[in-house]
Amino acid sequence: MFIDEAKIRVKAGDGGNGCMAFRREKFVPRGGPSGGDGGKGGDVVMESSERHNTLVHFRFNPEYNAERGRHGEGANRKGRDGADVVLKVPVGTIVYDDETGERLHDFSHPDERVVIARGGRGGRGNARFATSTHQAPRECEPGRPGEERAYRLELKLLADVGLVGYPNVGKSTLISRISAARPKIADYPFTTLQPNLGVVAVGNLGDPDQVSFVVADIPGLIEGAHTGAGLGTQFLRHIERTRLLVHLVDVSDSSGRPDPLHDLEVIAGELKSFGAHLEEKPVLLAASKMDIANKEKLSKLRRYAKKQGLELYPISAATGEGVEQLKLAMSRRLEELRQREAEALAD
């Protein structure tokens, strides 16, 4: 089950109370105060992990409480600190305050740790209040309460390339051809109901020049997706972090859509309406289903790509035609984009 949104409530541990006690020992008639401090309450910590890929574990268990600190005891014994609670989230998770909407943290790397609720401080025992003029204090402090917060978690998958297009244009078949991903494939629209990730390797295994990148297959878009039609734009957040988009256009007659340019314009409009600058990302065009292509549609798409200065790659994910050329093009373009990013950071 792929879950990319969840709401949780966390409560850090309360601090333990300070103790009021006095020494009672043989041959020590005036032992003085000996109340120890209370222990600190446990924190609630969030950590990014590569072993998790959804937020499903938060959907069914949305509340987490850290352990409270133990109370202080006599003989200057300090209470034990409460144990922390560590919540594991997938890389790519963004944490928002559910009440204010403020973004707390964006987990973009593995093993990042952030305290999302701090435990309360332990109270001081009466031994801490002793002075030269106040030698038998009877004051002690209660422990401070731990923080209690409500958060909204949103997962945005980390991928280099995003596959977009109408339903049933061959995105799932393509990702199964170029990677080890095995999404559901069928001859009806909206077969893909959740994003799929696949690692694509270019070059020979063990070759030091071999490069790899991650491709995300996004469920199909249709006209009006930004208003909720079809599957809506609920999965478009997963290509916000991609460097490159590959737009698949069906050039066969199996889709029942006569104009491939209209398909292009519709999907471009939906990307723009999403409001995350997706329309500004570099795009490669792929003419899909070349094994049963309509020559007029293909010619029309070629003329459009030449006019717009876009690279067009005719492919058939079913037979493998043109797939290697598309993989190499994706790898080459990604390398160019990475170099530009490195140069921009250097400046």
Q: pLDDT digits over 80-115, tens only?
A: 999 999 999 988 899 999 999 999 999 988 899 999
- Rounded to 10 degrees, the C-alpha dihedral 188/191/196/202 comes to -20
Q: Sketch the domain layout of the chain as residue ranges.
A: 1-155, 161-346
Say whether pLDDT at 207 is over 80: no
**Pairing state between β 93-97 and 148-155:** antiparallel
Mean pLDDT of the chain: 84
Report the pLDDT value the prediction gives residue 123, as an integer from 0 to 100. Answer: 96
Average pLDDT, stretch 235-247?
Answer: 82
Beta bridge pairs of residue 231 = none
Average pLDDT, stretch 309-330?
Answer: 91
Are the beta carbons of 185 and 207 closer than 8 angstroms?
no
CA distance 75 to 23: 7
Percent helix / strand / coil, the chain, rounded to 5:
25, 25, 50
Lowest mean pLDDT among 16-25, 126-135, 203-212, 315-324: 203-212
Q: Which of 194-208, 247-261, 321-335 has the highest mean pLDDT?
A: 321-335
Higher pLDDT, 206 or 291: 291
Residues 6 or more apart in contact with residue 183 via CB below 8 angstroms: 172, 175, 176, 191, 192, 196, 217
pTM score of the predicted model:
0.70
**Structure token pair of residue 164:** 């977009």
Say whether pLDDT at 225 is over 50: no
Average pLDDT, stretch 244-254?
Answer: 88
Average pLDDT, stretch 200-213?
Answer: 70
Which pLDDT band holds residue 224 (cuts at 50, 70, 90)? low
Same fold, 1-155 and 161-346: no
Say whether pLDDT at 228 is over 60: no
Helix, strand or coil, per DSSP, at residue 238? helix
Report the pLDDT value the prediction gives residue 194, as an integer from 0 to 100. Answer: 63
What CATH code would you report for 1-155? Answer: 2.70.210.12
Say whether pLDDT at 223 is over 60: no
Say whether pLDDT at 227 is over 80: no
CA distance 95 to 235: 18
Report the pLDDT value the prediction gives residue 239, as an integer from 0 to 100. Answer: 76
CA distance 179 to 187: 21
Report the pLDDT value the prediction gives residue 277, as an integer from 0 to 100. Answer: 80
Say whether pLDDT at 161 is over 50: yes
Angle formed by the axes of helices 171-178 and 323-346, to 10°? 80
Domain 161-346 has CATH 1.10.600.10: no
Q: Around 162, how many Cα atoms within 13 Å sit in the side-chain half-sphere? A: 27
DSSP 8-state secondary structure symbol assigned to residue 174: H
